[in-house]
Amino acid sequence: MEKKPVKIVTIGGGSSYTPELMEGFIKRYEELPIKEMWLVDIEDGKEKMEIVGAMAQRMWDASPYDVKVHMTLDRREALPDADFVTTQFRVGLLNARIKDERIPLSYGMLGQETNGAGGMFKALRTIPVILDIVEDMKELCPDAWLINFTNPSGMVTEAVMRYGKWDRVIGLCNVPVGAMMKEPKMINKSLDELTYKFAGLNHFHWHKIFDNTTGNDITQKVIDAIYDPNVDDGTPKNIFNVKFFKEQLQQMNMIPCGYHRYYYRQEEMLAHAIEEYHDENVGTRGQQVKKTEAELFELYKDPNLNYKPEQLTKRGGTHYSDAACETIASIYANKLTHIVVSTKNNGAVPDLPVDCTVEVSAYIGATGARPIAFGPLHPAERGWLQCMKNMELCVEEAAVTGNYNLLLEAFILNPQVVSGTTGKRIMDELLIAHKKYLPQFAEKIAELEVEGVTIKDDVARELTEQGL
């Protein structure tokens, strides 16, 4: 029986990642026939959307498939009868990320996109927006699936389910894809010869590896290979590659994700971040990405460019399409493909409540994600996991309620924030810096302004004064 063509809406369509997405859809068109492709963005993103939208159309025109790319600044125009809605937006754009990074670093604490103080504030800005999108979807495309790549992906996905009351959602990250692409080569295997099992939270998961021929756990073999100086260990491009302690990995018999470096090698990662922060020729990761993105959009303007350029791999989200497009294709065709996703726990990780969101291996089909049971973790990993999840739950509730006191609890709980007067000062400065995007905290922000709270970092303060 012929299946109906698909309508896909991408919110944040002006993102530099959009060519990744188009490449993935073109590659899968025979199993995922797209009838409509919509890109949605805001007024501030209009120019970028027009550039990337024109390139996306060139990519389709260069393919054998007749697909029209529509663009709009009104998501309600795009959403009616959508089958899949993908989200890849950044509230406050890269300037907000730069403030998330620089304000904590100005006090000697980690500033990072999804970890520490900056990661919590990215969630505070993003969750109210995703919940507004969900309300529109309930009205205009109630049968659609929401495929979320917006960071912090785990918290955003959990808020959709917990506060948006929308279960047709799957959160994605490219980090597990990168591991499964790189690691088999380290031990002279192909991915289809191995079974991977992931468990944890977005940007805070671990995985184990098994040999399909013998059924044996070969995680230690991969751990040994990681320390071969001639091997690419698969660390994402956006993470400073300081090695984990081998003894620690041998003890846990699991491989942590790249972002665990911010917790397991906090001293070294913080020192590197501070070094870049003080180097005017380098700057924080957000400042580096801003330059890379400017270069990408100059490339995208080329009327002859009709394929994804190699420079896109410099962005931390490379391979996004492998996760997003395969997830959509697997739901559409009930393929039951193994994909690592953020979804409702339902007992897959018994150390966490059944109704919370975890990032785990799952089979993806017509009913969404079917998480694969991982089993209980050892005390060290269990302790980290429970601390991080409860911090996330506090942040999510604060994002919805604007509860300053609860946000302070989250800051004190977060392992990347040294609790005390300075940690609270960083939180207050970030509230001032992101006033434009935090209406739920308006009353408290007004109090802080009356108290005379100002932003210490020159770059972040100037961006705020310019309304950016």
Nearest-angstrom CA–CA distance, 148 and 100: 21
Residue 50, exposed/middle/buried by CB under 10 A (0-12, 13-18, 19+)?
A: middle
One of 259, 277, 332, 404 is an active-site residue; which one? 259
Given a contact cutoff of 8 angstroms between Cβ atoms, the answer to whether 337 and 192 are in contact is no
Interior/surface letters 315-335, b for 16+ CB within 10 angstroms, e for the rest: bbbbbbbbbbbbbbbbbbeeb
The verdict on whether 259 is a catalytic residue reads yes
Given a contact cutoff of 8 angstroms between Cβ atoms, the answer to whether 299 and 311 are in contact is yes
Nearest to 71 by CA among 41, 91, 45, 44: 41
Classify strands 145-148 and 169-171 as parallel, antiparallel or unpaired: parallel
What ranges in 190-313 are assigned the alpha helix state H?
Answer: 219-226, 246-252, 261-264, 266-278, 285-300
R_g (Cα) of the chain, nearest Å: 21
Contacts 24+ apart (CB under 8 A), 74-81: 74/40, 75/9, 75/11, 75/40, 75/133, 75/136, 76/136, 76/140, 78/9, 78/38, 78/40, 79/9, 79/136, 79/137, 79/140, 79/141, 79/144, 80/140, 80/141, 81/7, 81/140, 81/141
**Which positions are catalytic?**
259
